Amino acid sequence: MSVRTWLEHPLTRGADIDDPSTTWRRREIVRQKRFLWRIYDEWYRMLAAAVPATPAPALELGAGAGFLCEYVPRLLASEIFQCPDVTAVLDARDLPFADASLRAIVMTDVLHHVPDARRFFVEAGRCVQPGGVVAMIEPWVTSWSRLIYTRLHHEPFRPDALSWDFPAEGPLSGANGALPWLMFQRDRALFEQEFPQWQIETVRLLMPFRYLLSGGVSLRSLMPGWSFGAWRGMERLFERSMDRWAMFAFIVLRRRA
């Protein structure tokens, strides 16, 4: 048995990433792995804090494997395919909501799976109220993350891509993990020119080691849950050099009036 095979989580070993049942299994994995659950708890608290406190609903994209509804009231949980406990099955490029009807769109590891991100931001600009937000946790490009994402991760990661678009393959197998960095770092001036209705309010670089040590939703955990706080403290030592070490970013865009 190879090291990679041994590291694979038994619930997803050999599973098709585009099969909805795999997403449901990943939800169970997040609940079972205490170290990973605490990462999602931290991410969800950040996302919840970014959502405006207005009466309108918020929309979560890619909600099938998560539990953000426990943190954000009046949350509409959606997925690209049918999964248990989701409110709607929809495509981020064609949102079935009235103009200015949402206070926020939130997502975790979703934007880099959208083949035509321009269409999504046009739709988000139509549906999100002035003052509302699009808030997300996404992969980011640094020297460290290039090494990890290109050698140890199953998804495509192409910081050298000339375009934001990529082939629309399966709902989850199609991806470019570098897309958020392309849009909000390398091509930020182009994004601001094409989407003046969106203010890039926050790009906070995060988590160089903890997600990797958790094994994510595909691999076994490399660290016990009780060590989470120690690793969080370790990462604080890297705060001034996150531009070289971060693997993720917390990104908030604000809808201008």
pLDDT tens, residue by residue, 38-58 = 999 999 999 999 999 999 999
Within 13 A of 128's CA, how many CA atoms are on the CB side? 30
Report residue 233 as tokens.
């403290």
Q: 196 pLDDT exceeds 50?
A: yes
Residue 3: pLDDT band by 50, 70, 90 thresholds? Answer: very low
CB distance 89 to 70 below 8 Å: no
pLDDT tens, residue by residue, 81-122 = 888 889 999 999 999 999 999 999 999 999 999 999 999 999
Per-residue pLDDT, 91:
95
Q: How crowded is residue 123: how many other Cβ atoms within 10 Å of its Cβ?
A: 18
Per-residue pLDDT, 234:
96
What CA–CA distance (Å, rounded) separates 223 from 225?
A: 7
Domain locations in the chain as residue ranges: 3-255
Nearest to 107, CA basis, from 77, 146, 152, 149: 77
Q: How crowded is residue 110: how many other Cβ atoms within 10 Å of its Cβ?
A: 22
CA torsion angle for 100, 101, 102, 103 (degrees, to 10)?
Answer: 70
Beta-strand pair 88-89/102-108: unpaired
Among 47-56, 61-70, 127-136, name the one with the lowest average pLDDT.
61-70
Q: Which CATH superfamily is domain 3-255 in?
A: Vaccinia Virus protein VP39 (3.40.50.150)
Per-residue pLDDT, 84:
83
Per-residue pLDDT, 4:
55
**Mean pLDDT throughout 4-32?**
76
pLDDT tens, residue by residue, 159-171 = 999 999 998 877 7
**Mean pLDDT throughout 48-73?**
95
Residue 183: pLDDT band by 50, 70, 90 thresholds? Answer: very high
**Mean pLDDT throughout 203-209?**
98
What CA–CA distance (Å, rounded) separates 210 from 147?
A: 16
